[in-house]
Amino acid sequence: MKTIEKIQSYLQTNNIDAAFVTTPDNVFYFTGFRSNPHERLLGVMIFKNADPFIICPKMEMPDAKAAGWAGKIIGHQDTENAWDILASAVKDNGQSIQSLAIEKSHMTVERLEAITKRFSSLQINRLDEKINELRVIKSEEELINMRKAAELADYAIEVGCKEIAEGKTELEILNAIELAVKEKGAAQMSFDTMVLSGPKTASPHGTPGDRKIQKGDFILFDLGVVYNGYCSDITRTVAFGEPSPDKREIYETVLKAELAAVHAVKPGVTAMELDKTARDVITDAGYGDYFTHRLGHGLGISVHEFPSITGVNEMVLEEGMVFTIEPGIYHPDITGVRIEDDVVVTSDGVEVLTKFPKELQIL
């Protein structure tokens, strides 16, 4: 069954007249049409009992068609009111809707007001959980893209390691990585590539800059590559020159935590158990206060998607789920270290998509 038909069947089961999907990543998931319309209206309207249509800026209509969407496409221009056009299109489709499912975690208050103004006494339902339920289980076709995206991420780390040299700046290394990855045919990184060195590794969300690499630094790469619309996300921390014993101890602790969590992945385990598996290793080693974030996050069309791998998420892992495992220790006086892999839950365990070595690389 195509994913869009799964939504139709959901609407029928729950007796909801229509679903309006406007997150660009979800529009891509259901239609194959990838677009970033900024503030302009893009959406796919899916009806319980009628054919769906895409609404998008008029100038993108050919792109929607080229992406393989064979259904109706409604265009709107900057001088027109897109919401009036949406309302007419629903009516033209022979539909009067009394209930509508929306992505409450994405739709703005303003947009919901624009919709409710045009459809009287509309009942609003959440669509978020249904979409999460579909997207969280990756098909084999999706996994093929994700494996390739991870392969490109591994390659990017390899390039980064080769670029490390005394006196080079973080930004120089970053640019060399992105150039190399794009030369391999990747159109886009999953997010702003991070190359942090020395004390800057201790900031989980630091910004690469002009700092020059020095002997004794740890260098942290956090990056991802988009392949056919699917993201990878990898972190490796490497040493430039022989590391001090306290840095090495932090590295080995993070590695032990990461491996413990990766090995714990299988159907039936909960997200919170995974987080605890890694966190316990770090806490037992005395660094608990320096592991300041969740263990990981879902990965796919979005670089951060459902599920969140936290200490409070009771969700049970199932075959086909893909997420990151990325424990870290951020010690302001010693160093930061994070190690991150992308993993798939298989029928009896785990497939690790990112394969760059995790033993401490001393360059």
| Chain residues in the site for its own copies (CB under 8 A) | 35, 38-39, 57-60, 62-63, 77-79, 102, 104-110, 112-113, 124, 128, 171-172, 174-175, 178-179, 182-183, 185, 187-188, 192, 203-205, 207-210, 292-294, 304, 308, 310-312, 330
Q: Between residues 94 and 332, which has the closer beta carbon with respect to its own copies?
A: 332
Q: Between residues 22 and 354, which has the closer beta carbon with respect to its own copies?
A: 22
**CB 140 → its own copies: shortest distance, Å?**
26
Distances (CA, A) of 200 to 121, 153, 208, 303, 358: 54, 22, 9, 23, 21
Q: Are 230 and 353 in contact (CB under 8 A)?
A: no
**CB 269 → its own copies: shortest distance, Å?**
18
Query: How far, in Å, CA of 224 to CA of 154, rounded?
Result: 9
**CB 205 → its own copies: shortest distance, Å?**
6
Query: How far, in Å, CA of 44 to CA of 1, rounded?
Result: 18
**CB 172 → its own copies: shortest distance, Å?**
7
Which residues have C-beta within 8 Å of that of residue 141, sequence separation ≥ 6?
none
Strand duo 336-338 + 188-189: pairing: unpaired
Strand duo 328-330 + 194-197: pairing: unpaired
**CB 174 → its own copies: shortest distance, Å?**
7
Q: Between residues 106 and 118, which has the closer beta carbon with respect to its own copies?
A: 106
Residue 228's closest CA among 306, 158, 143? 143
Q: Between residues 113 and 141, which has the closer beta carbon with respect to its own copies?
A: 113
Q: Between residues 106 and 256, which has the closer beta carbon with respect to its own copies?
A: 106
The strands making up 225-227's β-sheet, listed across from edge to edge, are 188-189, 225-227, 230-231
Q: Between residues 39 and 333, which has the closer beta carbon with respect to its own copies?
A: 39
Phi, psi of 202 (to 5 degrees): -80, 0
**CB 1 → its own copies: shortest distance, Å?**
28
Q: What is the DSSP letter of 289?
A: G
